Structure formats: structure tokens, C-alpha cells
Structure 1
Amino acid sequence: MITSINPANGDQIATYELHDDAYIDRALASAASAQKRWRRVPIEERVGLLVSMAKSLRSGKAKYAAMVTREMGKPIAEAEAEIEKCAYNCDFYAEHAPEYLADEVVPSNATESVVAFDPLGVVLAIMPWNYPFWQFFRFAAPAFAAGNGAILKHANNVPECALAIEEIMREAGCPEGLFSTLLIEPSKVAAIIEDDRIAAVTLTGSTEVGAIVASQSGKALKKQVLELGGSDPFIVLADADLEEAAKVAVKARYINVGQSCVNAKRFIVEEVVADRFVELFCEGVAALKIGDPMERDTNIGPMARKNLLSTLHNQVERTIASGATLKAGGKPLDLDGFYYPPTVLDDVTPEMTAFREETFGPVAAVIRARDAEHAIALANDTEFGLGSALWTRDVERGKRLARDIEAGAVFINGMTASDPRYPFGGIKRSGYGRELGVYGIREFVNIKTVWIGPAKATK
């Protein structure tokens, strides 16, 4: 049994029966069969499904956004933006997939051989709760356009959203069986990965779970894309526009109640401007409204689960005990639901918890750097390497410094975000592989050489 809980008040929303082994087997069989037919549909026709997916998302945006807010606490305005972003991603790949997957001619002296991009098969998508629609559609639009099928194993605290995704795919005209949602316990995943009807695996989740899935997939020799944890640096150099940097920093840290792998988490600021940055940053934090996530002016809703709140508070307490200065927040709020205030920790140093561990919630750690070189060293002093931001008025210098930052992305004078136009993913313990862009759509394809020899004349 899976139970859905409203994190804004702790009330039970609904319960759902788990799918049994027979249901799982039928889903895998149907997906494998449907994908064999789907792969032969011309891509110009396959992308029509993506157009329909975008229409279904937009037509149901109010309903689906309310589900997101109800099940995991995202403020409603952000939930609506998430649904719209899913639709935009579908539109983007509907337009660009034929170009991205077109055969590439490889000229040679004797032949005109090509590189072709064929689908792999059925992909198991293991998805998290923090962006319950976006994380799936980020993967699904390019995967379906490329000719693959998919099985979704979603996080068990968002079953309503998981089933709604299945509803959207049906409404969009997805071929029967090509996609299914499975409501299962994590213990069932290993057997599904091992099943011959699964060709590949994509996971967005914690580094710990990523290591388990990587091991299971590697044992089965299945291709994987892993988007895992992050402790993204937000580097502010002495010549930065401090007012703009602080304004963006507040959003970068506290959007989605701080529950994102690519939220800025470590704010590394040159010492000469650190006091002023912290002052501006704390002013922005103080202006955030905490409350009912269904209200449009709410910035900070509840955290998604009670245990997440407890873990975060423990990290804050350990960091303060090590010598950090508490500037704002710092303890759970006396409200119904799982509310933690936007918290700012100053004078954080590399041996402290908030520097070393991923803080998955509304807590910002400010680290003071001697100079730009020290700031880059601090940014790289982590096991993670997902996103990063660098603030400087000297853009050319910023470009040079960006090459020294160990991350899958560097945003100069902006907030780290995913965008269908650009590849997204990490290095080190933040995972491997890429989603989005041309590189994302080519993750779940067979990059096939088709060598064409000279034709001999017939007699």
C-alpha cells in the first residue's frame, strides 16, 4: 500500500494498492511489443505524440499543478510553471528531434557512409518527487521521439502525480502499452532492471540511490543516465553587481523550498564584499512569505516529508555547533505540516556539515573566500559537480574562470537552471550522462555506423 500525504498539514490524501508481479510482467511485455512497432514509425510522425503531450499538459495545467502542490508542497505558482516547462520541452523536441536524429554523413574516399541513431528499446525511468512532472517529461519527450518506450517507477510519496502522467500519455494518444506507470516498492526495481525487456535506465535521485542503481544496471550491462545530488556553488567575486547577485541568489536557493539538486547551496563570496552581500541576501530572505502553498503569494511552503525536515535541521545544528553564525531561521516552524524557515548560515568553513553535505531544503551556507582563486578552489572542494554560478562584471574573465570550475554547467551572472536547449547533467558524484539538448536525445539511442561500399556494376 502506498499512502499520499499532504505536507502542508500532514493529512492523508489517498492510499493506493501496489502493482503485483503479474501486473509488472504485463506492463513490460506490452511495452516491449509496442516499442517494436513504435520504432518503425517515421520520426516525423512520432513527434506528433509530443505535440499532443504538450496540449494535454497545458489543458490540464491547473489540475496537475494542484496535484503537485498537494502531494509535495511546491508553491502553486511554481507548480504551474513546472507544468508549462514540461509542455515547452515537448514542443522543443517536436521541432528539433528530426534534426538531432538525422543520419550524419561521414565522407570518405570510396563511400558515403552514415552514422544512424536507432532507439535502444524500453527505458526504465526512476524519478524523484521534487519535480514530479518535469523530471519525467524532461526524459520522456526525447526518449519517445527517438523511438523508445518507457516504464515509470516514480517516488512513492507522489503516486497521484505518477498516475496522472499515465493519464496524460493516454490522452495524448500514446500507443497502447508503450508507456506504463508502476506503483511498486524499491525492492522490485532490481528485477525490472535485470529483465531482458528493459534496455536502459535513467535515474534522478540521491547519490546513494544512484550508486545502487548503477551497480544493478552495470551487473545487467544496461546503459544508464544518472542525475544525482549536488552542492552547487554560487560564486560572487568582488566586482560583481551585488544587488543583482543577492536578488538572484535568494531565488536560486529557495525556489522549490530549496529541494532541488541544482539549487545554489554554497554561497562563496570574496571577503571584501561578503558583509554587504550577506546584508542584501538576508534582506531578500526576510521578504519571503511562508505559508499555504496553495496561496499565490507564498514563496516558502512545507518540505515534502517530515523526515527530510528532521535531517535538514540536524545538519543546521551540527553546522552551528562547529562555529557557523546563524543569520536567519534555524529551527522548524510551529505550524501544521512540515515547515522549515529560510535559513542563512554565515562563516561556514570547509570542515562544516553545510559545506560537506548536500542540504536538501531552505538552508544557505555563506563561505568567505580570500580572492577569486580561493573561491574557485572552495567551489571545487566537494564530491559533487552538478551546476554552478559565477558572478562578475568582467565576463571575459568569467569565461576563463568557468573552465576551472568542476561542474556540468556554469552560469555566469545567472541562476543555474535546466533548459531544453542545453545539455544537463553532472560529474563526480553528481552522476553521468546528459539530458536535454542534442546530447540528451542521443543518450538512449544506438549510435550505429552504416558503412556503404562502392556499388559494382551489374553485367
Structure 2
Amino acid sequence: MTFVSFDPSSGRVLAHHACLSEDRLEQRLHQAYQAAQAWQHEAPSERAALLYRLASALSAGRERMARELCLETGTLLKDCLREVERCAEECAHFAANGQAMLPAARSQVSQRPLGLMLALTAGPAPLWQCVRLLAPALMAGNGLLLKPAEHLSRLVELLARLMTEAEVPEGLITPLRISKEQVAGVVADARIGGLAYSGERQGGAIMAALAGGRLKPVILELAEADLQLILDDADLEPAVESVLNGCFRYRASWRQSEGGVLITPGLAEAFLERLGERLASLRSGRPDDSDTELGPLAKSGQREWLERQLREAERQGGRIRCGGYLPDEEGWYYPATLIEGQDPATTLFPAWPAGPVSSVLRVADEHGMQALCRSMSPDGIASIWTRDLARGEQLARSLPFDLCRVNPNPYHNSHWPPQSSPDQRLPLKRFSRSKTVLVSA
């Protein structure tokens, strides 16, 4: 198998990389297992020192790494710069606070490392997805095999250089280019003590099944539902800005989850007209151009798939207000698209396809919104827009989602990855096993 890296802005091939042979994969596994065994005996202060070195290497190489990410993912350069910054911040956070998260050395209950872990990532901000697993895993005393998404083969080289620059012990963090079949073999290997996956829900279900078949602990960070509910008395501009930031800032080329916009009739036409104007004004272009507001899609074939989905929605009665056509130009671009309708099938709801698409579903009232939301995963976020706070709170309490916000900051999603609060970071306990020692007289 050969991994091919493309430039999404032109469709040009950047590089070919061979899949690891079984012999070389075994060598990497052996080396990684030995490194992980040694690392779990290092003092927390040594683990913190390594994370500080990683933070320094990320900060020093910020411009170079961001441009590499921009070239391979099609993500806007300013967002890639922010991604590298967030990775440095994450490493520094666990370096500064990780020791306090671990029990005292002579405590009756201690946290022991899982050992060598396999982590797969397949979501937006690919470097960030790796680092947010890597930092707590290292601080907890684990080694890590990292497998990014298959279309990001150059990211493997970036990660390998980062480990060298930060003087990470050889084998402790090992980026891999392996096939899906090889992943199953690695999961089954007795040297793998735990698994982690960050990405869409379908991939998470496959990883959970593999882990369950081997009774191995697994950490799942899955794409969440993201829904905007707009009532008749909402303030128009904040609601429009929130949809723009949620649908089109950064994640337009990656997102594949559940979500969309539900709106009651009184404000629907004004909202659609204003959102359509804003979308039509977005500047499309190369992601490394500072004036670009909408870059290309991340993967080959993605826009053809999106085109088929939109044509089917139109056949069902959906109305495209702007965009919604396959452009005749090089690269994997697709215009900002707004589709609306009065039936879920006409707007692709609740599916939220990867691409610069906003689907707006007209709903009669709050009861209709509640009924539609009950079929969705509770692992998600709902943003409710209304001037009547009591009405908004009542609707929020009736929805199944883990987080419901009434009139949130409309710029909350303008940067991705967002700034993490302490409760949003992965706790070290998820990368550890509890061990209890009881001494009787």
C-alpha cells in the first residue's frame, strides 16, 4: 500500500510514502515497547521536562509547522498557526500541572501507566489531535504509537522531526504509516496496553469493537452534534455570526457529524437572506493567502461526494439559496453553500456533511425542535437564540444534549482548536490504571 499526499488547493501530488512492511512494523513495536517500559519508571519531574521541551520545539517551529499543515490539509494558514500555538500550550499545561494530578508516591492508591498505547486520529486540527493525546499520555508515564489519517502522510514526517527536535527518547513516541489491516494486528498485540481514538463516530465504533474484542481500555474523543436553534424573537446578527463561525471557520473542510440550523417561521426568511449575503461574500482561495476566508476541502473526492448529497437533497425538495455547484477549477474547492427546506430529507438533517455547507430546516415551534433533537446523539452542543431567556432556558432543559447554551458568545467557534478550560482537558486517570496497596499488621 502507498500513501499519497496531495495539495488540496491544486490537486497536485506532494509525495508518495510506502506503508510499513510487517518486519519494519515489528521493529518499531519492539523499540516502542522497550521505550515505554523504561519511561514508566521516570520521575514526574523528568516527564514534565520532556513536555517543556516539546512546548519549546513547537513554539520555535511554529511558522514552519503551520505552513506544512496548511499545504497538506487546506486549512487557512492563520488557523494552522493557532493550532501549533495550542499544541505548545497543551504540553506546557501538563508539564506545569501534571505532577499535581498524580497521587503521592506512598499513597495507598496510585495511578500506574497503561504502558504502550496506540492512538489514531482522524479529525480537524490533526497536529492538535495528536498532541492533546500525547501530552497527558507522556505525563502519565506511557509510550505512544501515533497513526494520523491516511491522507496526511506528510504529518508523520512532521511529528518525527518534532520528536527529534524535542530530544524525545527514541521509540517513546512513534508516528506510523500503516494500513487499516495492520491497525487491527497492532491492537491485538499483547504489548499494547491501551488505545485512543479521536475522530468521527463511525471510526470510534470500529475502534471500540477492536478494543472490546481484546478487553483493552480505550479513550474515545468523538465528533459531537452541534446544533443552532433560532426562535422568532432572536437577535439576527449574533445568530448569523454564530452559524458562520460554527459551519465555515476552519472546520468547513473537515467536519462530518450531526447538526445544522433549526429555525421557527417568523425569523426564517430574514435569517436566510442575511446568511446568504454573508456566505456569498466569503473569499475563496489558497489557504496560505492572508486574504482567503474559505480554503479547499481536505480530501480527494470529497467535493464530488458533497455534490451528490446536495443533488439528492434538491430532489427531495430542498432549495439551495447560494453555492451548491461543482466549480470548474483545479483543486478541491467548493463554494459556501446554503440549503433550506421544511423536511429533514430536504436539508440532509441531522447529517452534517464535511464541507462548507449550512443546512437550515424550518420548524413550526419549540415542540418540533424537541422532537427532531430526540433522535440525535446526546454527546453534543445546542445553541439557542432568543431574547426571552426564560423561554430559552425551558427549551434548553428539554433537549437531550450534554451542553445547551442560551445566547452564547457568537465568536466561540471562530478559532479551532478552542482554548481549553481545565475540565475540557483529558484527565491523567484515563491514561492510567489504579493500583491499591493495603498493608496489614
| Superposition TM-score, scaled by structure 1 size | 0.87
What is the match of residue 310 of structure 2?
316
Gaps (5+ residues) in structure 1?
Answer: 106-112, 424-435
Say if 1:132 and 1:162, in contact at 8 Å, map to a contact too: no
Q: Name which of structure 1's ranges 331-340 and 369-378 shifts more when overlaid on structure 2.
A: 369-378
Match of 2:135 among 118, 126, 141: 141
What is the match of residue 120 of structure 1?
114
Say if 1:102 and 1:117, in contact at 8 Å, map to a contact too: yes
Distance 1:178 1:223, change over 3 A: same
Percent identity for Structure 1 against Structure 2: 29
What is the match of residue 420 of structure 2?
420
What is the match of residue 218 of structure 1?
212
Show CA shifts across 1:335-391 (max 9, x none).
210111110111252244610423111111112233334323323333573333333
What is the match of residue 37 of structure 2?
36
What is the match of residue 441 of structure 1?
428
Distance 1:419 1:448, change over 3 A: farther
Superposed CA RMSD: 2.5
Match of 2:195 among 188, 193, 201: 201
Does residue 304 of structure 1 match 2:291?
A: no
Match of 1:163 among 141, 157, 161: 157
Q: Distance in 2 between matches of 1:16 and 1:27?
A: 17
Q: Distance in 1 between matches of 2:287 and 2:160?
A: 25
**TM superposition shift of 1:235:** 1.8
Structure 2 SS opposite 1:338? coil
Q: Distance in 1 between matches of 2:157 and 2:57?
A: 14
Show CA shifts across 1:379-425 (max 9, x none).
333357333333344557655644443334444414456543255xx
Q: Distance in 2 between matches of 1:142 and 1:284?
A: 40
Show CA shifts across 1:273-326 (max 9, x none).
222222222222122111111101211111112311111111111111111121
Match of 1:227 among 221, 234, 240: 221
Q: State the one-letter code of the partner of 1:288.
A: L
What is the match of residue 56 of structure 2?
55
What is the match of residue 98 of structure 2?
97
Match of 1:237 among 211, 222, 231: 231
Q: Distance in 1 between matches of 2:147 and 2:178?
A: 7
Distance 1:443 1:283, change over 3 A: same
Q: Name which of structure 1's ranges 260-269 and 202-211 shifts more when overlaid on structure 2.
A: 260-269
Structure 2 SS opposite 1:388? strand
Q: State the one-letter code of the partner of 2:94.
A: Y
Distance 1:368 1:58, change over 3 A: same
Match of 1:361 among 352, 355, 364: 355
Gaps (5+ residues) in structure 2?
Answer: none
Equivalent residues in 2 for 1:380-395, closer than 5 Å: 380-383=374-377, 385-393=379-387
Equivalent residues in 2 for 1:162-201, closer than 5 Å: 162-201=156-195
**TM superposition shift of 1:246:** 0.9
Show CA shifts across 1:103-140 (max 9, x none).
599xxxxxxx7442221111111112632201101111
Say if 2:124 and 2:254, in contact at 8 Å, map to a contact too: yes
Say if 1:159 and 1:183, in contact at 8 Å, map to a contact too: yes
Q: Name which of structure 1's ranges 266-275 and 215-224 shifts more when overlaid on structure 2.
A: 266-275
Q: Distance in 2 between matches of 1:157 and 1:357?
A: 23
Does residue 26 of structure 1 match 2:27?
A: yes
**TM superposition shift of 1:11:** 0.7
Q: Name which of structure 1's ranges 239-248 and 84-93 shifts more when overlaid on structure 2.
A: 239-248
Q: Distance in 2 between matches of 1:390 and 1:33?
A: 51
What is the match of residue 379 of structure 1?
373
Equivalent residues in 2 for 1:251-290, closer than 5 Å: 251-256=245-250, 258-261=252-255, 265-290=259-284
Show CA shifts across 1:52-108 (max 9, x none).
111111111111111111112111111111111111211222222223333599xxx
Say if 2:282 and 2:293, in contact at 8 Å, map to a contact too: yes
**TM superposition shift of 1:237:** 3.1
Show CA shifts across 1:142-183 (max 9, x none).
111111110011112111112211211221121221111111
What is the match of residue 84 of structure 1?
85
Q: State the one-letter code of the partner of 1:36.
A: Q
Name the count of aligned residue pairs.
Answer: 434
Say if 1:262 and 1:386, in contact at 8 Å, map to a contact too: no
**TM superposition shift of 1:266:** 0.5
Say if 1:268 and 1:378, in contact at 8 Å, map to a contact too: no
Q: State the one-letter code of the partner of 2:56.
A: K
Say if 2:258 and 2:352, in contact at 8 Å, map to a contact too: no
Q: State the one-letter code of the partner of 1:28.
A: L
Structure 1 SS opposite 2:240? helix
| Superposition TM-score, scaled by structure 2 size | 0.90
What is the match of residue 46 of structure 1?
47
Distance 1:393 1:92, change over 3 A: farther
Q: State the one-letter code of the partner of 2:292.
A: T
